[in-house]
Amino acid sequence: MLLRWKEVVNHHGISFHGFADDSQLSKHMHVNEIQMVKCAKVDCIAAIEPGCHSHGLKLNADQSDVIWLGTTQ
């Protein structure tokens, strides 16, 4: 199942890193690409969610965070 998630995430142009009990989605971007990347992540999560449910897993929005990192440039 992990391989399938990686395929879905790569299809949306997003990087995936799996941990023991957690997952991380990330994407490098320029400030003018924020809306496009936001839509890509929402679409990616929507594509992953049915697979989670079919394996008895739940995407918990209350435990999800978005972190924006950048420089002054």
Per-residue pLDDT of 25-49, as tens digits, reads: 888 888 899 899 889 988 988 888 8
- Could you give the number of structural domains in the chain? 1
Q: Measuring CA to CA, how many Å separate 73 from each of 30, 39, 43, 70?
A: 10, 24, 29, 8
Q: Is residue 44 part of a domain?
A: yes
Q: Is residue 48 part of a domain?
A: yes
- Residue ranges making up the domain that contains 46: 2-63
Kindly report whether the global pTM for this prediction surpasses the value 0.85.
Answer: no
Q: Is residue 72 part of a domain?
A: no
49-73 pLDDT, tens digit each: 888 888 888 887 777 888 888 877 6
Cα–Cα–Cα angle for 44, 66, 51, rounded to 5 degrees: 30
Q: Is residue 68 part of a domain?
A: no
